[in-house]
Amino acid sequence: MPRSPSDGDEANRISASRFLARPRLQELIDALRGRGYRVIAPVPRDGAVVYAEVESADALPRGLRESQAPGRYRLEAATGDRVFDVVNGPGALKPFFFAPRETLLQVRTDAAGFEASETLPETPPTAFLGVRACDLAALGVQDRIFRRGRFPDAWYEARRRDVLVVAVNCVRSAATCFCTSFGTGPEAREGHDLVLTEQEDGFVARSGTPAGAEVLDGLSLPPAGAERVEAEHGALVACAEGMERGIDTEGFPELLYARLEHPRWAETGERCLSCGNCTAVCPTCFCHDESDEPALDGSGAVRVREWDSCFDRDHAQVHGLNFRPHIAHRYRQWLVHKLGAWIDQFGESGCVGCGRCITWCPVGIDITEEVAALRTEAP
Protein backbone atom coordinates (compact mmCIF):
# COMPACT_ATOMS: atom_id res chain seq x y z
CA MET A 1 0.00 0.00 0.00
CA PRO A 2 1.59 3.33 -1.02
CA ARG A 3 2.28 5.72 1.80
CA SER A 4 3.75 9.15 2.22
CA PRO A 5 5.92 10.36 5.09
CA SER A 6 3.83 10.70 8.21
CA ASP A 7 2.82 13.97 9.73
CA GLY A 8 2.60 12.02 12.98
CA ASP A 9 1.68 14.07 15.94
CA GLU A 10 3.56 17.23 15.00
CA ALA A 11 4.02 18.43 18.59
CA ASN A 12 5.34 15.01 19.66
CA ARG A 13 7.66 14.80 16.69
CA ILE A 14 9.14 18.19 17.50
CA SER A 15 9.52 17.54 21.22
CA ALA A 16 11.06 14.07 20.64
CA SER A 17 13.59 15.27 18.07
CA ARG A 18 17.19 16.07 18.94
CA PHE A 19 19.94 17.58 16.82
CA LEU A 20 23.25 15.80 16.31
CA ALA A 21 25.76 18.13 14.66
CA ARG A 22 27.80 16.23 12.03
CA PRO A 23 31.13 16.58 13.91
CA ARG A 24 29.46 14.79 16.84
CA LEU A 25 28.62 11.67 14.82
CA GLN A 26 31.79 10.13 16.22
CA GLU A 27 30.28 10.51 19.71
CA LEU A 28 27.37 8.31 18.62
CA ILE A 29 29.76 5.66 17.30
CA ASP A 30 31.81 5.88 20.50
CA ALA A 31 28.65 5.60 22.62
CA LEU A 32 27.61 2.43 20.78
CA ARG A 33 31.09 0.94 21.06
CA GLY A 34 31.21 1.94 24.71
CA ARG A 35 28.08 -0.14 25.29
CA GLY A 36 29.85 -3.17 23.87
CA TYR A 37 28.52 -3.10 20.30
CA ARG A 38 30.67 -3.57 17.23
CA VAL A 39 29.41 -0.94 14.81
CA ILE A 40 28.57 -1.94 11.23
CA ALA A 41 27.98 0.91 8.78
CA PRO A 42 28.10 1.63 5.04
CA VAL A 43 31.65 2.18 3.78
CA PRO A 44 32.97 2.71 0.24
CA ARG A 45 34.88 -0.33 -1.01
CA ASP A 46 35.84 -1.50 -4.51
CA GLY A 47 33.60 1.08 -6.19
CA ALA A 48 30.44 0.39 -4.18
CA VAL A 49 29.13 0.91 -0.67
CA VAL A 50 29.07 -2.16 1.57
CA TYR A 51 28.33 -2.77 5.24
CA ALA A 52 31.53 -3.23 7.28
CA GLU A 53 32.76 -2.68 10.83
CA VAL A 54 33.79 0.92 11.59
CA GLU A 55 35.48 2.59 14.51
CA SER A 56 35.53 6.08 13.04
CA ALA A 57 32.99 8.30 11.30
CA ASP A 58 35.77 9.00 8.77
CA ALA A 59 35.15 5.53 7.30
CA LEU A 60 31.65 6.51 6.11
CA PRO A 61 31.07 7.50 2.45
CA ARG A 62 31.51 11.24 3.07
CA GLY A 63 30.99 13.49 0.06
CA LEU A 64 29.87 10.63 -2.15
CA ARG A 65 26.63 9.64 -3.81
CA GLU A 66 25.82 6.89 -6.23
CA SER A 67 24.02 6.69 -9.52
CA GLN A 68 22.03 3.56 -10.27
CA ALA A 69 20.23 2.33 -13.37
CA PRO A 70 19.35 -1.13 -14.73
CA GLY A 71 22.66 -3.01 -14.83
CA ARG A 72 24.65 0.03 -13.66
CA TYR A 73 26.07 1.33 -10.34
CA ARG A 74 28.66 4.09 -9.94
CA LEU A 75 29.98 5.93 -6.89
CA GLU A 76 30.45 9.61 -7.67
CA ALA A 77 31.88 12.62 -5.85
CA ALA A 78 29.27 15.04 -4.51
CA THR A 79 29.61 18.52 -3.09
CA GLY A 80 29.55 18.92 0.69
CA ASP A 81 30.39 16.44 3.39
CA ARG A 82 27.16 14.55 3.87
CA VAL A 83 27.82 10.95 4.87
CA PHE A 84 24.53 9.17 4.07
CA ASP A 85 23.82 10.34 0.51
CA VAL A 86 24.65 6.93 -0.96
CA VAL A 87 21.27 5.19 -0.85
CA ASN A 88 22.34 1.56 -0.89
CA GLY A 89 24.87 -0.86 -2.27
CA PRO A 90 24.65 -4.51 -3.27
CA GLY A 91 24.72 -5.85 0.29
CA ALA A 92 21.79 -5.53 2.68
CA LEU A 93 21.65 -6.82 6.27
CA LYS A 94 20.81 -10.36 5.08
CA PRO A 95 24.33 -11.86 5.19
CA PHE A 96 24.80 -10.76 8.81
CA PHE A 97 21.93 -12.95 10.02
CA PHE A 98 21.40 -15.55 7.28
CA ALA A 99 25.01 -16.46 6.52
CA PRO A 100 25.94 -17.19 2.88
CA ARG A 101 27.64 -20.40 4.07
CA GLU A 102 27.70 -21.92 7.53
CA THR A 103 28.14 -25.21 9.31
CA LEU A 104 24.96 -26.39 11.03
CA LEU A 105 26.11 -29.68 12.46
CA GLN A 106 29.38 -31.42 13.15
CA VAL A 107 29.67 -35.21 13.35
CA ARG A 108 32.72 -36.93 14.85
CA THR A 109 33.30 -40.65 14.58
CA ASP A 110 35.56 -43.00 16.47
CA ALA A 111 35.71 -46.69 17.29
CA ALA A 112 32.86 -46.33 19.80
CA GLY A 113 30.43 -44.75 17.34
CA PHE A 114 29.64 -41.16 16.45
CA GLU A 115 28.69 -37.91 18.16
CA ALA A 116 26.74 -35.07 16.54
CA SER A 117 26.82 -31.51 17.82
CA GLU A 118 25.16 -28.26 16.70
CA THR A 119 27.54 -25.46 15.80
CA LEU A 120 25.78 -22.25 16.75
CA PRO A 121 27.60 -19.02 15.84
CA GLU A 122 29.01 -16.76 18.53
CA THR A 123 28.26 -13.22 17.40
CA PRO A 124 29.18 -10.10 19.36
CA PRO A 125 26.47 -7.52 20.13
CA THR A 126 26.13 -5.52 16.91
CA ALA A 127 24.88 -2.01 16.16
CA PHE A 128 23.99 -1.29 12.53
CA LEU A 129 24.34 2.37 11.62
CA GLY A 130 22.77 3.81 8.46
CA VAL A 131 20.08 1.21 7.76
CA ARG A 132 17.50 2.30 5.17
CA ALA A 133 13.75 1.89 5.62
CA CYS A 134 13.51 -0.73 2.84
CA ASP A 135 16.22 -2.82 4.47
CA LEU A 136 14.49 -2.56 7.84
CA ALA A 137 11.31 -3.83 6.18
CA ALA A 138 13.32 -6.65 4.59
CA LEU A 139 14.70 -7.53 8.01
CA GLY A 140 11.10 -7.78 9.24
CA VAL A 141 10.30 -10.13 6.34
CA GLN A 142 13.27 -12.36 7.16
CA ASP A 143 12.42 -12.27 10.86
CA ARG A 144 8.97 -13.65 10.04
CA ILE A 145 10.56 -16.49 8.08
CA PHE A 146 13.48 -17.38 10.35
CA ARG A 147 12.34 -16.26 13.80
CA ARG A 148 8.57 -16.43 13.90
CA GLY A 149 7.78 -19.38 11.65
CA ARG A 150 6.79 -22.85 12.87
CA PHE A 151 10.44 -23.83 13.10
CA PRO A 152 12.54 -20.89 14.39
CA ASP A 153 16.07 -21.01 13.03
CA ALA A 154 18.61 -21.21 15.87
CA TRP A 155 21.51 -19.99 13.69
CA TYR A 156 19.63 -16.88 12.54
CA GLU A 157 18.43 -16.24 16.09
CA ALA A 158 21.96 -16.46 17.50
CA ARG A 159 23.09 -13.65 15.18
CA ARG A 160 19.92 -11.58 15.40
CA ARG A 161 19.49 -11.59 19.18
CA ASP A 162 21.70 -8.76 20.41
CA VAL A 163 21.29 -6.11 17.75
CA LEU A 164 20.68 -2.37 17.84
CA VAL A 165 19.61 -0.55 14.67
CA VAL A 166 20.30 3.10 13.87
CA ALA A 167 18.23 3.80 10.77
CA VAL A 168 18.70 6.66 8.33
CA ASN A 169 15.70 8.17 6.56
CA CYS A 170 16.19 8.60 2.83
CA VAL A 171 16.12 12.21 1.60
CA ARG A 172 17.19 11.16 -1.87
CA SER A 173 16.29 8.01 -3.76
CA ALA A 174 18.17 6.10 -6.41
CA ALA A 175 16.60 5.90 -9.86
CA THR A 176 15.99 2.20 -9.19
CA CYS A 177 14.10 2.64 -5.87
CA PHE A 178 10.35 2.02 -5.60
CA CYS A 179 9.75 1.56 -1.87
CA THR A 180 6.65 3.78 -1.95
CA SER A 181 4.87 1.04 -3.95
CA PHE A 182 5.06 -1.22 -0.88
CA GLY A 183 4.83 1.39 1.87
CA THR A 184 8.30 0.47 3.12
CA GLY A 185 10.03 3.87 2.77
CA PRO A 186 11.54 6.39 2.43
CA GLU A 187 10.90 6.97 6.15
CA ALA A 188 11.84 4.31 8.73
CA ARG A 189 8.77 3.86 10.88
CA GLU A 190 9.35 0.63 12.79
CA GLY A 191 12.06 -1.86 13.65
CA HIS A 192 14.70 0.73 14.54
CA ASP A 193 16.13 1.79 17.90
CA LEU A 194 17.26 5.19 16.66
CA VAL A 195 16.62 7.08 13.44
CA LEU A 196 18.58 9.91 11.87
CA THR A 197 17.66 12.28 9.05
CA GLU A 198 20.68 13.97 7.51
CA GLN A 199 20.59 17.72 6.93
CA GLU A 200 23.28 20.12 5.73
CA ASP A 201 25.03 20.46 9.09
CA GLY A 202 23.98 17.35 10.97
CA PHE A 203 21.11 15.04 11.80
CA VAL A 204 17.64 15.17 13.28
CA ALA A 205 17.68 12.23 15.70
CA ARG A 206 14.85 10.33 17.41
CA SER A 207 14.64 7.13 19.38
CA GLY A 208 12.33 4.22 18.56
CA THR A 209 12.92 2.01 21.59
CA PRO A 210 14.07 2.40 25.22
CA ALA A 211 17.51 1.10 24.20
CA GLY A 212 17.77 3.80 21.55
CA ALA A 213 16.51 6.45 23.98
CA GLU A 214 19.22 5.47 26.43
CA VAL A 215 21.91 6.01 23.79
CA LEU A 216 20.39 9.32 22.72
CA ASP A 217 19.99 10.59 26.29
CA GLY A 218 23.63 9.78 26.95
CA LEU A 219 24.69 12.19 24.20
CA SER A 220 22.86 15.15 25.82
CA LEU A 221 21.82 16.60 22.47
CA PRO A 222 19.92 19.88 22.09
CA PRO A 223 16.34 19.85 20.75
CA ALA A 224 16.15 19.87 16.97
CA GLY A 225 13.47 22.56 16.99
CA ALA A 226 10.39 23.06 14.82
CA GLU A 227 12.25 24.48 11.83
CA ARG A 228 14.53 21.46 11.42
CA VAL A 229 11.66 19.01 11.91
CA GLU A 230 9.57 20.82 9.28
CA ALA A 231 12.52 20.76 6.88
CA GLU A 232 12.93 17.03 7.58
CA HIS A 233 9.27 16.40 6.78
CA GLY A 234 9.55 18.40 3.56
CA ALA A 235 12.63 16.43 2.49
CA LEU A 236 10.89 13.09 3.11
CA VAL A 237 7.81 14.14 1.15
CA ALA A 238 10.01 15.35 -1.73
CA CYS A 239 11.93 12.08 -1.72
CA ALA A 240 8.73 10.00 -1.83
CA GLU A 241 7.19 12.15 -4.54
CA GLY A 242 10.38 12.14 -6.62
CA MET A 243 10.64 8.36 -6.86
CA GLU A 244 10.95 7.45 -10.53
CA ARG A 245 9.84 3.82 -10.51
CA GLY A 246 6.85 1.96 -9.12
CA ILE A 247 4.85 -1.24 -9.23
CA ASP A 248 1.07 -1.28 -9.34
CA THR A 249 0.27 -4.10 -6.87
CA GLU A 250 -3.51 -3.87 -7.34
CA GLY A 251 -4.98 -7.37 -7.66
CA PHE A 252 -1.88 -9.28 -6.51
CA PRO A 253 -1.48 -12.21 -6.14
CA GLU A 254 -4.44 -13.32 -8.31
CA LEU A 255 -3.44 -11.12 -11.24
CA LEU A 256 -0.03 -12.78 -11.43
CA TYR A 257 -1.54 -16.27 -11.24
CA ALA A 258 -3.77 -15.30 -14.17
CA ARG A 259 -0.70 -14.40 -16.23
CA LEU A 260 1.27 -17.64 -15.90
CA GLU A 261 1.02 -18.31 -19.66
CA HIS A 262 1.78 -14.71 -20.71
CA PRO A 263 4.24 -14.47 -23.66
CA ARG A 264 6.36 -11.99 -21.69
CA TRP A 265 7.93 -14.85 -19.72
CA ALA A 266 9.46 -16.33 -22.87
CA GLU A 267 10.75 -12.92 -24.00
CA THR A 268 12.40 -12.25 -20.64
CA GLY A 269 13.71 -15.81 -20.54
CA GLU A 270 15.64 -15.00 -23.73
CA ARG A 271 17.38 -12.07 -22.01
CA CYS A 272 17.94 -13.57 -18.54
CA LEU A 273 21.32 -15.25 -17.97
CA SER A 274 20.03 -17.25 -14.98
CA CYS A 275 23.05 -15.94 -13.07
CA GLY A 276 21.20 -15.53 -9.75
CA ASN A 277 22.59 -12.04 -9.04
CA CYS A 278 19.07 -10.80 -8.33
CA THR A 279 18.50 -13.42 -5.62
CA ALA A 280 21.94 -12.85 -4.06
CA VAL A 281 21.41 -9.09 -3.64
CA CYS A 282 17.74 -9.34 -2.70
CA PRO A 283 17.38 -8.65 1.03
CA THR A 284 14.45 -11.06 1.41
CA CYS A 285 15.38 -14.12 -0.73
CA PHE A 286 16.03 -17.04 1.58
CA CYS A 287 16.45 -20.16 -0.57
CA HIS A 288 19.28 -22.35 0.56
CA ASP A 289 20.73 -25.78 0.12
CA GLU A 290 22.10 -28.17 2.71
CA SER A 291 24.75 -30.79 2.06
CA ASP A 292 26.90 -33.20 4.05
CA GLU A 293 30.65 -32.94 3.60
CA PRO A 294 32.55 -35.97 4.92
CA ALA A 295 36.17 -35.62 6.05
CA LEU A 296 38.59 -37.44 3.74
CA ASP A 297 40.12 -39.33 6.69
CA GLY A 298 36.73 -40.65 7.81
CA SER A 299 36.89 -38.83 11.15
CA GLY A 300 33.52 -37.21 10.71
CA ALA A 301 31.45 -34.88 8.56
CA VAL A 302 29.83 -31.47 8.61
CA ARG A 303 26.39 -30.43 7.45
CA VAL A 304 26.67 -27.14 5.59
CA ARG A 305 24.00 -24.64 4.62
CA GLU A 306 24.65 -22.34 1.64
CA TRP A 307 22.59 -19.73 -0.16
CA ASP A 308 20.92 -21.18 -3.22
CA SER A 309 18.96 -19.51 -6.00
CA CYS A 310 15.78 -20.47 -7.82
CA PHE A 311 17.67 -19.39 -10.97
CA ASP A 312 20.05 -22.31 -10.51
CA ARG A 313 19.00 -25.19 -12.78
CA ASP A 314 19.76 -27.75 -10.06
CA HIS A 315 17.37 -26.00 -7.68
CA ALA A 316 14.51 -27.63 -9.59
CA GLN A 317 16.15 -31.02 -10.07
CA VAL A 318 14.28 -33.80 -8.24
CA HIS A 319 14.99 -37.50 -8.78
CA GLY A 320 16.21 -37.13 -12.35
CA LEU A 321 13.46 -34.70 -13.33
CA ASN A 322 13.80 -30.95 -13.70
CA PHE A 323 10.52 -29.14 -13.29
CA ARG A 324 11.90 -25.73 -14.41
CA PRO A 325 14.08 -26.70 -17.36
CA HIS A 326 13.94 -23.32 -19.11
CA ILE A 327 15.17 -19.96 -17.87
CA ALA A 328 11.73 -18.48 -18.50
CA HIS A 329 10.30 -20.95 -15.95
CA ARG A 330 12.84 -19.84 -13.36
CA TYR A 331 12.29 -16.14 -13.92
CA ARG A 332 8.52 -16.72 -13.65
CA GLN A 333 8.97 -18.71 -10.44
CA TRP A 334 11.06 -15.93 -8.89
CA LEU A 335 8.77 -13.04 -9.79
CA VAL A 336 5.48 -14.83 -9.04
CA HIS A 337 6.80 -16.05 -5.70
CA LYS A 338 8.28 -12.69 -4.75
CA LEU A 339 5.22 -10.61 -5.60
CA GLY A 340 2.40 -13.15 -5.45
CA ALA A 341 2.78 -16.52 -3.71
CA TRP A 342 4.76 -14.87 -0.90
CA ILE A 343 1.54 -13.07 0.07
CA ASP A 344 -0.30 -16.41 0.33
CA GLN A 345 2.63 -17.94 2.20
CA PHE A 346 3.54 -15.18 4.65
CA GLY A 347 0.72 -12.63 4.41
CA GLU A 348 2.88 -9.92 2.86
CA SER A 349 4.89 -9.17 -0.27
CA GLY A 350 8.39 -10.61 -0.65
CA CYS A 351 9.53 -7.37 -2.28
CA VAL A 352 10.32 -4.18 -0.36
CA GLY A 353 11.18 -2.06 -3.40
CA CYS A 354 14.92 -1.65 -2.74
CA GLY A 355 15.69 -1.87 -6.47
CA ARG A 356 18.84 -3.99 -6.07
CA CYS A 357 17.68 -6.69 -8.48
CA ILE A 358 17.38 -3.99 -11.16
CA THR A 359 20.78 -2.41 -10.55
CA TRP A 360 22.75 -5.62 -10.21
CA CYS A 361 21.17 -7.56 -13.07
CA PRO A 362 23.95 -7.73 -15.68
CA VAL A 363 21.45 -7.44 -18.53
CA GLY A 364 19.30 -4.80 -16.83
CA ILE A 365 16.05 -6.74 -16.40
CA ASP A 366 13.75 -4.43 -14.45
CA ILE A 367 11.07 -6.00 -12.23
CA THR A 368 8.92 -2.85 -12.49
CA GLU A 369 8.93 -3.07 -16.32
CA GLU A 370 8.20 -6.79 -16.17
CA VAL A 371 5.15 -6.26 -13.97
CA ALA A 372 3.88 -3.45 -16.18
CA ALA A 373 4.18 -5.75 -19.20
CA LEU A 374 2.48 -8.62 -17.38
CA ARG A 375 -0.44 -6.41 -16.38
CA THR A 376 -1.38 -6.08 -20.04
CA GLU A 377 -3.56 -8.84 -21.42
CA ALA A 378 -1.66 -11.22 -23.69
CA PRO A 379 -2.32 -10.39 -27.37
| Residue with smaller CB distance to ligand SF4, 57 or 285 | 285
CA distance 248 to 258: 16
**Helix (H/G/I), strand (E/B), else coil: 181:** helix
Residues 96-135 within binding reach of ligand SF4 (CB under 6 A): none
| Residue with smaller CB distance to ligand SF4, 277 or 333 | 277
Q: Which long-range contacts (CB under 8 A, 24 or more apart) does 371-377 make?
A: 371/247, 371/248, 371/335, 371/339, 372/247, 372/248, 373/264, 374/255, 374/256, 374/259, 374/262, 374/264, 375/248, 375/255, 375/259
| Residue type present at position 376 | T
Closest contact distance (angstroms) between CB of 357 and ligand SF4 is 3
| Residue with smaller CB distance to ligand SF4, 202 or 283 | 283
Measured CA distances, 202 to 24, 25, 85, 187, 216 (Å): 8, 8, 13, 17, 15
CA distance 56 to 60: 8
Closest contact distance (angstroms) between CB of 367 and ligand SF4 is 6
Closest contact distance (angstroms) between CB of 214 and ligand SF4 is 32
| Residue with smaller CB distance to ligand SF4, 27 or 286 | 286
Closest contact distance (angstroms) between CB of 177 and ligand SF4 is 8
Residues 124-183 within binding reach of ligand SF4 (CB under 6 A): none
Residues 256-295, mask of contacts with ligand SF4 (x by CB under 6 A): ----------------xxxxxxx--xxxx-----------
Residues 347-376, mask of contacts with ligand SF4 (x by CB under 6 A): ----xxxxxxx---xxx-x-x---------
| Residue with smaller CB distance to ligand SF4, 109 or 274 | 274
Residues 331-350 within binding reach of ligand SF4 (CB under 6 A): 338
Closest contact distance (angstroms) between CB of 181 and ligand SF4 is 9
CA distance 39 to 31: 10
CA distance 159 to 175: 32
Rounded to a whole number of angstroms, the CA Rg of the chain reads: 22
CA distance 223 to 49: 31
Closest contact distance (angstroms) between CB of 330 and ligand SF4 is 8
| Residue with smaller CB distance to ligand SF4, 18 or 259 | 259
**Nearest alpha carbon to residue 337 among 145, 100, 177:** 145
Closest contact distance (angstroms) between CB of 250 and ligand SF4 is 17
Total residues contacting ligand SF4 by CB under 6 A comes to 25
Closest contact distance (angstroms) between CB of 338 and ligand SF4 is 5
Measured CA distances, 234 to 3, 5, 67, 80 (Å): 15, 9, 23, 20
Q: Is the peptide bond preceding residue 253 cis, with omega within 30 degrees of 0?
A: yes
Q: Angle at the Cα of 167 (from 165 to 172), degrees rounded to 5?
A: 160
| Residue with smaller CB distance to ligand SF4, 260 or 363 | 363
| CB atoms closer than 10 angstroms to residue 95 | 16
| Residue with smaller CB distance to ligand SF4, 215 or 278 | 278
Sites of contact with ligand SF4 (CB under 6 A): 272-278, 281-284, 311, 338, 351-357, 361-363, 365, 367
